[in-house]
Homo-oligomer: A and B are copies of this chain.
């Protein structure tokens, strides 16, 4: 039954093609101007075809955001494989997180609903825990040597995530402010440094 398999492959191709085209449009023109009709145009099919593969526009955006999480997770996992010292690992994670955000601002904005349509009512994304899992793991390794309760560790993870996310999202919304661009990076480095010392 090679024929049906080819059909399934074609169907999946269509799906990934829609996502790829959507991402391209977003990178070129921003979230605000992404429309179903533009996607249909770009894949050279009529509009309803898109609804054979996705329930609605939000679904497409959601799926794209999952791609973003997967991409981020891959880089964090690479750190984990390559770096054994937990403090160095934590620093590398922070750096990777930062770089991911500014190399893929479209992804980051979508993943965390920055300046996005309908992010408030969207599904809760379990992938938000990517950060908690990886950064958390590194922090826990550092902390186990010391005398810290689980709660305290959890707080540290949360605080750490917040600084990073705060710095990134504040910088993203003031992107015209070039002065801040070097400063933000330094603030992050300093904060990470201070954090690790205080663990």
A residues lining the B interface (CB < 8 Å): 30-32, 109, 112-121, 124, 128, 154-155, 158-159, 161-167, 169-170, 173-174, 176-177, 180, 183-184, 186-187, 190-191, 194, 198
Contact = CB atoms under 8 A, between A and B. Distances in A.
Contact of A186 (B113, B155, B180): B155
B163 A162 contact: yes
B163 A30 contact: no
Which secondary structure characterizes the binding site on chain A?
A: helix
Copies in the complex: 2
Contact of A170 (B31, B115, B162): B162
9 contacts: A32-B118, A112-B169, A115-B116, A115-B120, A124-B174, A158-B184, A159-B191, A162-B167, A166-B169
Given A116-B115, A194-B198, A30 B159 contact: no
B167 A120 contact: no
Contacts of A183: 154-155, 158
A59 to B, nearest CB: 16
A108 to B, nearest CB: 12
A15 to B, nearest CB: 26
A148 to B, nearest CB: 12
Contact of A155 (B109, B170, B187, B198): B187
